[in-house]
Amino acid sequence: MQNDLGGEPPRAERPEEPSRVDGSRRGALKVLVALGGAAYAGAIVVPAVTMLAPSSEGGAGAARWMRVCRLAELTEGEPRRVVVVGDERDAYTVTKDQLLGSIWVTKKGESVTALSAVCPHLGCSIDLNGDKKSFSCPCHTSKFSLAGAAEAGPSPRGMDPLVVRVVDGHVEVDFKLFRQGIAERKEVG
């Protein structure tokens, strides 16, 4: 529906020549476009990768001693699940008194041992079997001895031991988390 008064003016015909510029200028423009494009892409990709890449920051390696229970609460040779409570630093917040994880502690004479309750397979929570003679993970039925050695199931390594000490009758543990699914024991932050 053309309107004579307000219609669009006719457009210029396309030039016959493929381009108005000659060979060398064409080459230069091509390089310009490529360089400009690369600069533009780089300006996006580099910060993007830097931003998204997992940060190396984190408390890996540093001791985080946490008080978990009293020595007197433990029964000789019988593992007990205790909860680790402490301040949690998660990206932009620090929250006091958070549940950080749970561990199994066992008293043997005067010494105490501790095992992470996180299954080294894929990270489910390990339970003590009813007969209290072994541990098992309900997720894919990994089985561990009381000492934490892997006995059956898909777990690639035994339960992760944690360093413990007893201070004034209190059990303290150096709480850490480890990577799952691999045979080596690698700490995560």
CA distances (Å), origin 83, targets 86, 92, 110, 138, 167: 10, 24, 21, 19, 18
CA–CA distance, 101 with 141 (Å, rounded to integer): 21
Contacts of ligand FES in 100-159 (CB under 6 A): 119, 121-124, 137, 139-140, 142, 153-155
Q: Looking up tokens 């010494």, which residue turns up?
A: 111
Nearer to ligand FES among residue 105 and residue 150 (C-beta): 150
- Asked if 179 is part of the footprint of another protein (rule: CB under 8 A), the reply reads yes
Q: Which of ligand FES, another protein, none does residue 106 bind to, with CB < 5 to 8 Å depending on kind?
A: none
Q: Which of ligand FES, another protein, none does residue 167 bind to, with CB < 5 to 8 Å depending on kind?
A: none
Nearer to another protein among residue 26 and residue 179 (C-beta): 179
Beta bridge partners of 158: none
Sign for the CA dihedral angle at 61, 64, 70, 74 comes to negative
Nearer to another protein among residue 164 and residue 176 (C-beta): 176
